[in-house]
Structure 1
Amino acid sequence: MKFLIILLVVIFVIGLFRFFRQKSYLKTLTEEQFRQGYRKAQLIDVREPQEFKSGHILGARNIPLTQLKQRLVELRKDKPVYLYCQSGTRSARAAQVLHKKGYEDVSQLKGGFKKWTGKIKKS
């Protein structure tokens, strides 16, 4: 029982550490903030292709999280990167990958695509 409590505390502390570390390199933007800057940035949808085809933010490129490491050559480090996925989980993981590869200006859409009320395109 004591071991289980210690294990849970360790897991909690690690999660807390990751949360605060992520805050240092990833900006989470409201939809309004996202709209103000995404046209000047590299707008990347990290969802899978079938999700992208069913609807995406106008002007977005689809680079699924599962392909991101192999497709980093498509992204510039000198321009902001705006990420989104369905809810925010995959875009946060994509931001972590980009951070490790030296990208400094990375933002994500708060709540993801499911909270987006702006223009969309369906393929």
Structure 2
Amino acid sequence: MINELSPADIHRLLNDHEILLVDVREPQEFATARIHGAMLFPLSSFDPLALPAADKVRIVFHCGSGKRSSVAVMRCQQAGLSHCEHMAGGIQAWTAERLPTVTLDPTSGGVIDRR
């Protein structure tokens, strides 16, 4: 079972410090645009057993569109872990709702905080 949460749900849960948001995109994608507070754990090197136990922290996965985060949930479940949540639509849905991101200025390399 995969539980999908909306970007608005994720935003509220992050603000309330109720989840650990795990971004399963690749480092170059993360550098281009990321969600405040998200931890990078690329699917290409994803090891579900390296995650904290579900009884220690509530983990929600996200990616670019929702496909890779669904795969991360399935890998967790195959490993016997109960992490089952991901953000529907990924960061594309997040930015479509104009929620805050961190990006890099391509001309200077400086951080742009889009709140």
Query: Is the TM-score greater than 0.5?
Result: yes
Give the paired residue count. 98
Q: Which has the higher strand share?
A: 2
The residue number in structure 1 matching 2:75 is: 97
Q: Which has the higher helix share?
A: 1
- Cα deviation per residue 1:67-92 (whole Å; 9 max; x = unaligned)? 112x6324333221111100011000
Give the TM-score normalised by structure 2: 0.76
8 Å contact kept, 1:85–1:91: yes
**Corresponding letter in the other structure for 2:103:** K
- Cα deviation per residue 1:42-89 (whole Å; 9 max; x = unaligned)? 2100000000000111000100001112x6324333221111100011
C-alpha separation between the residues in 2 aligned to 1:77 and 1:101? 13
Task: Tell which structure's C-alpha radius of gyration is larger.
Answer: 1
C-alpha separation between the residues in 2 aligned to 1:53 and 1:92? 21
Change beyond 3 A, Cα 1:120–1:72: farther
Runs of 4+, deviation exceeding 4 Å: none
**Structure 1 portions without partners, runs of 5+:** 1-23
The residue number in structure 2 matching 1:34 is: 10
Alpha-carbon RMSD across the aligned residues, in angstroms, is: 1.7
1:75 to 30, 52, 72: 52
**Corresponding letter in the other structure for 1:88:** G
The answer on 1:87 being equivalent to 2:65 is yes
